[in-house]
């Protein structure tokens, strides 16, 4: 009887350790998936710009001069949009016939993944944080613009740090104005 109790205790301890490891494994997988999906979304925006695709607006189908992706610190979503006014910012409330429009639905990170920080390098090479960033590709060459919510340039590189739900695991997606997108 004592041996059975000891064996049950050993099995319970091992099971507990496996469950704790599985939770971390699930978070890591969700974080990796979120980073890959964000990189693919950036590439999708770039390809949309190169394809010179039309989008539906209130005034009918139009070919946008630029398309972009809007990212916000602390958010679990990002927005793909057509920059119809070519002002390098996302503003769906433009008081004209051509407000910027979303290209599809809001994209949601799964598994509690959020954008932890948005970092760019200033003119002196020092890292600076920003609350909102837009990555915009202008047709027809898919010229890249990285800017803040007001359309002000943030330089040549944007580092998007993603965090798992617990905040312990992070991944960084780096976007450069050369068009390079990398995940670390």
- What pLDDT does residue 55 have? 81
Range name among 33-37, 90-94, 113-117, 151-155 with the lowest pLDDT average = 90-94
Q: State mean pLDDT over 52-78.
A: 87
What is the band of 90 on the pLDDT scale with cuts at 50, 70, 90?
confident
- What pLDDT does residue 99 have? 66
Q: Are 133 and 115 in contact (CB under 8 A)?
A: no
Read out DSSP for 7-57?
Answer: HHHHHHHHHHHHHHHHHHHHHHHHHHHHHHHHHHHHHHHHHHHHHT--EEE
Strand-strand pairing, 127-129 and 114-121: antiparallel
Query: pLDDT: is 97 or 21 the higher one?
Result: 21
What is the band of 63 on the pLDDT scale with cuts at 50, 70, 90?
confident
Burial profile 149-163: b = 16 or more Cβ within 10 angstroms, e = fewer: bebeebeebbbbbbb
Average pLDDT of every residue of the chain: 88
Q: State mean pLDDT over 72-89.
A: 91
Residue 101's Cα: distance from chain center in Å?
18
Is 90 strand, coil or helix? coil
pLDDT higher than threshold 60 for residue 5: yes
pTM: 0.82
Using left for φ > 0, alpha for ψ between -120 and 50, and beta otherwise, residue 108 falls in beta
- What pLDDT does residue 41 have? 94
């Amino acid at each position: 009887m004592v041996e059975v109790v000891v064996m049950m205790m050993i099995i319970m301890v091992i099971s507990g350790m496996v469950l704790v490891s599985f939770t971390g494994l699930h978070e890591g997988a969700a974080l990796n998936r979120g980073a890959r999906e964000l990189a693919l979304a950036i590439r999708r925006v770039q390809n949309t710009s190169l394809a010179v695709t039309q989008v539906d607006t209130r005034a009918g189908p139009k070919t946008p001069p630029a398309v972009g992706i809007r990212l916000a610190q602390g958010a679990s979503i990002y927005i793909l949009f057509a920059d119809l006014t070519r002002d390098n910012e996302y503003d769906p409330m433009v008081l004209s016939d051509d407000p910027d429009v979303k290209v599809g639905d809001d994209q949601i990170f799964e598994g509690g993944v959020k954008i932890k920080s948005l970092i760019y390098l200033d003119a002196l090479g020092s890292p600076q944080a920003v609350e909102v960033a837009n990555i915009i590709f202008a047709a027809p060459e898919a010229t890249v613009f990285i800017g803040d919510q007001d359309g002000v340039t943030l330089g040549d590189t944007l580092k998007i740090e993603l965090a798992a739900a617990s905040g312990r695991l992070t991944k960084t997606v780096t976007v450069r104005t050369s068009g390079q997108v990398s995940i670390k």
